[in-house]
Amino acid sequence: MTTKSAAAAARATVYGYPRQGRHRELKKAVEGYWKGGVTADALRATAAGLRRENWRQLAEAGIHEVPTGDFSYYDHVLDTTVMVGAIPARHREAVAAGPLDGYFAMARGTQDVAPLEMTKWFDTNYHYLVPELGPDTVFTADPAKQVAELTEALALGLTARPVLVGPVTYLLLAKPAPGVAAGFEPLTLLDRLLPVYAEVLADLRAAGAEWVQLDEPALVQDRTPAELNAAARAYRGLGALTDRPRLLVASYFGRLGEALPVLAKAPVEGLALDFTEAAAANLDALAAVGGLPGKRLVAGVVNGRNVWVNDLENSLATLGTLLGLADRVDVSASCSLLHVPLDAALERDIDPQILRWLAFARQKTRETVTLAKGLAQGTDTIAAELAANRADLASRAGSPLTRDPAVRARTTAVTDADARRTPSYTERAAAQRAHLGLPPLPTTTIGSFPQTDELRAARAALRGGRLDTAGYEERVKAEIQEVISFQEKAGLDVLVHGEPERNDMVQYFAEQLTGYLATRHGWVQSYGTRYVRPPVLAGDISRPAPMTVRWTRYAQSLTGRPVKGMLTGPVTMLAWSFVRDDQPLGDTARQVALALRDEVNDLEAAGTAVIQVDEPALRETLPLRAADRAAYLARATEAFRLTTAGVRPDTQIHTHMCYAEFGDVVQAIDDLDADVISLEAARSHMQVARELAAHGYPREAGPGVYDIHSPRVPSPEEAAGLLRTGLLAIPAERLWVNPDCGLKTRGWPETRASLENLVAAARTVREEL
């Protein structure tokens, strides 16, 4: 191989593209089908049209080999489950009766059958449906979807590469099916699964595939020697097949580490690796194994997960180094573009100057094409693009939005003492007890009350200019009155204002902070037909004015009981936004924390004795590799403490997280130094309470006794039973009584009944103390 021929061969590709369409046509068609207004044929036609449009966009932009099979009605892991025939027993009847309805039954459940469990796709905000496998699982190949989509693309005259979830990742993402012993390891099914992949590969070859991509992102996580062996065995086996296309094994979301030599040695024709900053170690590791002689390397140099323009010169330098390490080097985004919005050009409300710093899927596609062209034909051929890119990067670096001297001065002046509350928790707890005078087993809620249709309509009317600000605020106040008066009547101890003014717990704050951008069309798939529009942390963050104080103050004016102030914490603000890539994450976290700290202090000054800072995202952004976790948790706890450490000892800081398993982060939760934490626990029978106790967690805690994820009303006896279970782990002086999470998705009738029962349960159990 020569560097020159490797360069001349360079082409651009991507691994996947946003599925929803410019106007979220897919969401509308799928939901229409569920409701009965859209026929199966119409849904299929919409889907085929969207695939065609995506391929057309990619090909027109200059993508040489378009991905196929990445499209999905709901989730690509569920598609893989169908492809390998691993339909759970409880869904077989529905799938046999009608594959499309059976597919949606697995995704969403039906009246009688539970859906597959859903969980996060690595460290993204995408959720996949977890395969359920057991020793009795029989795999059978169902390549129909893959073959059909390849055929569609080839019929358009395109070069296409089917993209499949690889067999090792598929098994590592699976869990034991219901009824199978928890110790069962799906990876033991590898030998049974490989023949099915062999059959799919043969069919794809017969249908005209020259290359097939097998995605193995699970190999960027910490893997045991046995798991690495399984990967080696899988690709030895697939590589040895004679009737197959060429294989490209793709990794993304980080460095391959010890899996890199395994894949480099495998008898496959190509590897795709992440070369973004977070995976920079891949470069040295690749050199250390002597490169990939005779193989194709796809270099993920354009970050597929952020929304920023690429530094083209930087990427060209990386690509230049890679040229000496493989036979052919292609350019790609680092992962599927599924994780970014479709097109920055659709944004009309963002300042055009700032818009030039942003790159969504369409812009990232263009970047990969430009880079491949520069590599293959020389940088002279992309001189104009390089000049424009340099200008965009310079304007970003020099903009007052990204460089606010006052914010920077304040951030650098932060000391350890600013992030430390004094005195110690124990002394504070005594001061708070005296200040608040609450009964044992105090009752409270997590913050939001039902978001009614009227409220949403009022917000839409305000946006549309049909309701003025004064009219809207009257609506919000009326809602707060109702929420406060209900809570007083129900007998809750620490009240909330109900968050009626908030559209979303992150967006509401992002809209009020300088340096944060909201998008109009920046939809990203979260799961199935649910799409979110994460705001963009674009510049230095400051808070021009208090954000929540007047609503909390108004609520407090209506009652003699303490009203809890309610904020979204800095870790969650970052986790559910697109973050900057032009400064360390810790700096961004500190800026957000300081803005929130001002809000916390203003709430206290306005007479708020209890302030809750929600961090539901703390655990979900935990890095994929254990070696990276300590630094993440240190940054996260520092940001939380900086937010909350400015208050008096007798002001009580609450936090809230909504997950039931968190053994791996108990220490970090303790390190937050909050006074009270509320957690999800109702479904797991207070498991968290036992985990806290096992850790020796010294603070007050409210494991939820009301599962808010269903309209079911818990009886007073049921809630009391959970409380008694909680008391076995946490003493009465430190146990709170609350639901699992906020009530915004619930209706008023079940909310009323459930909270009345919750208070009744607390009263009953207090009597027993």
* Contact residues for 116 (Cβ-Cβ < 8 A; gap 6+): 78, 81, 88, 106, 107, 129, 130, 131, 132
* Contact residues for 79 (Cβ-Cβ < 8 A; gap 6+): 69, 72, 145
**Is residue 443 within 8 Å of residue 720, measured between CB atoms?**
no
Binding residue for ligand GLN, selected from 95, 618, 705, 741, defined by CB under 6 A: 741
State the minimum distance, in angstroms, from the CB of residue 496 to ligand GLN.
8
16 is in an annotated binding site: no
739 binds, among ligand GLN, Zn ion, none (CB under 5 to 8 A by kind): none
167 binds, among Zn ion, ligand GLN, none (CB under 5 to 8 A by kind): none
Query: Binding marks (x or -) toward ligand GLN, 501..520, rule CB under 6 A?
Result: ----x---------------
DSSP letter, residue 653: E
Q: Name the segment binding Zn ion (CB under 5 A); options: 556-564, 610-618, 662-670, 691-699.
A: 610-618
d(CA 756, CA 473) in angstroms, rounded, equals 28
656 is in an annotated binding site: yes
Binding residue for ligand GLN, selected from 63, 446, 524, 618, defined by CB under 6 A: 446
Q: Is 616 in the site for ligand GLN (CB under 6 A)?
A: yes
**Strand, helix or coil for residue 663:** helix
To which H or E segment does residue 376 belong?
A: helix 361-377
614 is in an annotated binding site: yes
* Contact residues for 547 (Cβ-Cβ < 8 A; gap 6+): 508, 509, 512, 513, 599
**Is residue 28 within 8 Å of residue 22, measured between CB atoms?**
no
Q: Name the segment binding ligand GLN (CB under 6 A); options: 233-241, 431-439, 721-729, 736-744.
A: 736-744
How many chain residues interact with Zn ion (CB under 5 A)? 3
Minimal CA–CA distance to 383: which of 375, 391, 374, 392? 374
d(CA 267, CA 235) in angstroms, rounded, equals 7
**Strand, helix or coil for residue 232:** helix
27 is in an annotated binding site: yes
What pairing do the DSSP bridges indicate for beta strands 564-568 and 610-614? parallel
**Strand, helix or coil for residue 767:** helix
Q: Name the segment binding ligand GLN (CB under 6 A); options: 269-277, 451-459, 682-690, 737-745.
A: 737-745
Name the catalytic one among 76, 339, 654, 709: 709
Residue 709 is a catalytic residue: yes
Q: Based on CB atoms, which residue is closest to ligand GLN, 499 or 700?
A: 499
**Token digits for 43?**
């849904």
620 is in an annotated binding site: yes
136 is in an annotated binding site: no
State the minimum distance, in angstroms, from the CB of residue 617 to ligand GLN.
8
Q: Name the segment binding ligand GLN (CB under 6 A); options: 6-14, 138-146, 291-299, 441-449.
A: 441-449
Beta strands in 275-337 (DSSP E): 292-302, 326-333
- Cα(first)–Cα(last) distance of the chain, in Å? 79
Return the exposure string of 324-346: e unless at least 16 CB atoms fall within 10 Å of the residue's CB, then b.
Answer: ebbbbbbbbbbbbbbbbbbbbee
State the minimum distance, in angstroms, from the CB of residue 742 to ligand GLN.
2
Q: Based on CB atoms, which residue is closest to ligand GLN, 18 or 498?
A: 498
448 is in an annotated binding site: yes
Binding residue for ligand GLN, selected from 658, 669, 735, 737, defined by CB under 6 A: 658
Minimal CA–CA distance to 761: which of 732, 729, 738? 738
Alpha helices in 40-166, H assignment, sequence order: 40-61, 76-83, 92-97, 99-108, 144-155
Binding to ligand GLN in span 366-385, by CB under 6 A: none
Binding residue for ligand GLN, selected from 165, 744, 757, 761, defined by CB under 6 A: 744
Q: Is 448 in the site for ligand GLN (CB under 6 A)?
A: yes
State the minimum distance, in angstroms, from the CB of residue 447 to ligand GLN.
3
Binding residue for ligand GLN, selected from 65, 216, 602, 614, defined by CB under 6 A: 614
Q: Name the segment binding Zn ion (CB under 5 A); options: 391-399, 436-444, 643-651, 735-743.
A: 735-743
Integer-rounded Cα radius of gyration of the chain = 27
120 is in an annotated binding site: yes
State the minimum distance, in angstroms, from the CB of residue 610 to ligand GLN.
13
Q: Is 741 in the site for Zn ion (CB under 5 A)?
A: yes
Q: Based on CB atoms, which residue is closest to Zn ion, 562 or 616?
A: 616
Q: Based on CB atoms, which residue is closest to ligand GLN, 596 or 765?
A: 596
Q: Based on CB atoms, which residue is closest to ligand GLN, 146 or 451?
A: 451
State the minimum distance, in angstroms, from the CB of residue 515 to ligand GLN.
23
Binding residue for Zn ion, selected from 325, 359, 480, 658, defined by CB under 5 A: 658
To which H or E segment does residue 693 belong?
A: helix 687-695
**Token digits for 199?**
């059959």
CB-count exposure of residue 380 (10 Å: 0-12, 13-18, 19+):
exposed
Query: Binding marks (x or -) toward Zn ion, 614..643, rule CB under 5 A?
Result: --x---------------------------
Minimal CA–CA distance to 277: which of 303, 246, 243? 303
d(CA 395, CA 407) in angstroms, rounded, equals 19
d(CA 557, CA 608) in angstroms, rounded, equals 11
576 is in an annotated binding site: yes
d(CA 146, CA 164) in angstroms, rounded, equals 8
d(CA 498, CA 192) in angstroms, rounded, equals 53
Q: Name the segment binding ligand GLN (CB under 6 A); options: 86-94, 212-220, 392-400, 446-454.
A: 446-454
Q: Name the segment binding ligand GLN (CB under 6 A); options: 116-124, 355-363, 378-386, 738-746.
A: 738-746
Q: Output the CA–CA distances (angstroms, integers) from residue 94 to 103, 174, 463, 561, 573, in the order listed.
A: 8, 21, 43, 53, 41
443 binds, among Zn ion, ligand GLN, none (CB under 5 to 8 A by kind): none
Q: Which amino acid is residue 332, in one-letter code? A: S
Q: Output the CA–CA distances (angstroms, integers) from residue 586 to 408, 479, 570, 583, in the order listed.
A: 13, 38, 11, 8
Any idea which residue has 């036979």 for tokens? 327
Q: Is 566 in the site for ligand GLN (CB under 6 A)?
A: yes
Per the annotation, binding residues are: 24-27, 120, 125, 446-448, 499, 576, 614, 620, 656, 658, 671, 680, 741
Using CB under 5 A, list all residues that contact Zn ion: 616, 658, 741
Q: Which residues are annotated as a binding site for Zn(2+)?
A: 656, 658, 671, 680, 741
Which residues bind to ligand GLN, rule: CB under 6 A? 446-448, 499, 505, 566, 614, 616, 656, 658, 741-742, 744
Q: Which residues are annotated as a binding site for L-homocysteine?
A: 446-448, 499, 614
Catalytic residues: 709
Binding-site members for L-methionine are 446-448, 499, 614
